């Protein structure tokens, strides 16, 4: 399950870069957690 989660986070990180505005609007509260996850994956 950890491997799948890690892959999802990496995919999401790639998706965020081109559309940061849309991401922030859709995931306001999740933004901080998601960014932390992206940093941890790297």
Using left for φ > 0, alpha for ψ between -120 and 50, and beta otherwise, residue 4 falls in alpha
Tens of pLDDT, residues 3-22: 766 666 666 666 555 555 55
Is the separation of the CB atoms in 41 and 9 below 8 Å?
A: yes
- Total-model pTM: 0.25
**Token pair of 16, please?**
């965020």
Over the chain, what is the mean pLDDT?
61
- State how far the Cα of 42 lies from the Cα of 27, in Å rounded to an integer: 21
- State how far the Cα of 30 lies from the Cα of 38, in Å rounded to an integer: 12
């Amino acid at each position: 399950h950890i491997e799948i989660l890690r892959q999802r986070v990496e995919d999401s990180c790639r998706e965020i870069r081109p559309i940061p505005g849309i991401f922030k609007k859709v995931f306001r509260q999740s933004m901080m957690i998601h960014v932390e996850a992206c940093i941890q994956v790297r």
